[in-house]
Structure 1
């Protein structure tokens, strides 16, 4: 992807956008319930939820090692962590679809109009909004001084110690080591900067921008960016599966990881991606399916502006995972089968544990 390029190319849609998949048979529902129950049982966590939609028909199964709470698990909000980036990518796609932005705007100029003067940073190519959302900005995963500031709260709320003004300042002070658009490197820092740039471009605080332009139109009434109470939010746990952790506070990284939502709201979000026609944000929902870059051996790793995209035998699968200090999430959908999956658990696993492979395999196989 070249610097300043429009982040999602035009051209024909995927075949799966225009050919409807076969509608599942009612007798398949029991098979799906057994598959979901097996997935729940495979994840060793205090609370586990696997929520599946097939052509709008929902099946939600829950479990876990903790005793059931007064509020059913499927009614609680769960922390999305990096899966929040799918909301940010869709919002950027919407703002470009409406013509407010192009994706090629330099982020620094939006955050500090004085930087429109090219003499301020001679020899540097600008980092655009497109670079930030596609992780090709050249920014590190986190700002250079993040760990020093976060260390005192490393086991509780490290991001809370890095507020919005520091995120912006760290970006404006950053000196490039690679030309933007030439290398993929996953960056929470970059997507956080994108959120602040979009807020600046629209003159709207991030929470109001996301709520007004995306959450409200899509009917996501149980999705929020701030912690709630024990009656509304699931409680996360550390890797031992027993020690609770406080609710996540993300500081200046809202666009990269602040979303928390109920399983049913997440299915509503994913169902909109499965069937964008005649919905709010139709153009953006279609745009976030389209590949914008490929990387890795055989170009297996395909990226859109919001999702990772892998092939299956019948068509592409779109997915994104996320983790906080005490919870994990997996979101995905397959237009070819009309299937969407939202999976959550209240334990932060090590890399090789079962949650993500179980969710990925379930979406690939159902």
Structure 2
């Protein structure tokens, strides 16, 4: 139940070496469906494996739920809108969402940059999210909390900290960013993302809604029953993107400069946005050891800095990462058994940080 492809293979023989590396890494992950993929400035090696019987569509061509690994897409969208002059990082979200409406002074100070960089002072999720989510936590926790409710929760919020002073990971904040950009541009988030990011990068197998039957990866519960497709409700910008591993490589290659001269020309505002999202903007943690860009976690490695983001839904997982200095990109996706502990993220992260 293994399908390994490598195309193109470089003249130095890195393709076969990467194929062996990915096959070895796959043995460390117990997943029904698993895809590990690397690109070295456009030279790709893709390994598909898993404990489940393969279906009629190759695992590398299925579309997987990205969960929080959707956030780099939101970050690139914001950066491109800024490059186009349509919004500014310092724009205040409440002024764009509800101009003139009375809000808490701290909410009034929250900017688009604060929302994206998890420095808004907002909690991970709205306080009133949990009563409706807990009874359906293992089936559909987000679907009952629509967009208008997310916006209302933001406008009546009382941030825990003064915006810009502390880092706290927040799906709530990034979701508010999505609604704010939609309001500022007069364009629905899904359409905006497609126009500004997905279409220019030719990500034809990337979307925010389930596609035709047989094209989507499916997670399973421990008893073997399938997990329903994710409904993110009003939290679309924070976790609704779904994509094939091949599209994820294309997305990452745009950040590393690949696939080179054979690729389509990049619009100047998109090129500026790709450069902007790779730039460190804040440090946090003990001795400020943790570095972040607008949207990526940034860690050191023996081969230069690595930028990455992971995500998970009830039945699926994703990992995206790249090394700007060497042009290496790693995309990994998997289906999983609900609540099962596994080594997926650690394995993908090791491929990014330890691969020569």
Specify the alignment match of 2:234 in structure 1: 252
Residues 334 and 114 of structure 1: CA distance in aligned 2, closer, same or farther (over 3 Å): same
Structure-to-structure mapping, 1:135-284, within 5 angstroms = 135-238=118-221, 240=222, 242-275=224-257, 278-280=265-267, 281-284=270-273
For the 8 Å contact 1:53–1:271, the answer to whether it is kept is yes
Structure-to-structure mapping, 1:1-366, within 5 angstroms = 25-115=11-101, 121-122=104-105, 126-238=109-221, 240=222, 242-275=224-257, 278-280=265-267, 281-347=270-336, 353-366=342-355
In the aligned structure 2, how far is the partner of 1:134 from the partner of 1:351?
A: 30
Deviation at 1:120, TM superposition (A): 5.3
In the aligned structure 1, how far is the partner of 2:92 from the partner of 2:299?
A: 30
For the 8 Å contact 1:323–1:348, the answer to whether it is kept is no
For the 8 Å contact 2:256–2:327, the answer to whether it is kept is yes
Specify the alignment match of 1:20 in structure 2: none
Residues 306 and 176 of structure 1: CA distance in aligned 2, closer, same or farther (over 3 Å): closer
| Residues 224-233 or 201-210, more deviating | 224-233
Unmatched 5+ stretches in structure 1: 1-22
CA-atom RMSD, angstroms? Answer: 1.9
Aligned length: 340
In the aligned structure 2, how far is the partner of 1:197 from the partner of 1:159?
A: 19
Deviation at 1:42, TM superposition (A): 1.2
Deviation at 1:138, TM superposition (A): 0.6
For the 8 Å contact 2:302–2:354, the answer to whether it is kept is no
For the 8 Å contact 2:37–2:332, the answer to whether it is kept is yes
Residues 168 and 123 of structure 1: CA distance in aligned 2, closer, same or farther (over 3 Å): closer
| Residues 197-206 or 39-48, more deviating | 39-48
For the 8 Å contact 2:301–2:354, the answer to whether it is kept is no
Deviation at 1:177, TM superposition (A): 2.9
Question: When the two structures are superposed, what TM-score results if normalisation uses the length of structure 1?
Answer: 0.89
Deviation at 1:352, TM superposition (A): 5.7
For the 8 Å contact 1:164–1:252, the answer to whether it is kept is yes
In the aligned structure 1, how far is the partner of 2:160 from the partner of 2:33?
A: 43
Unmatched 5+ stretches in structure 2: 1-8
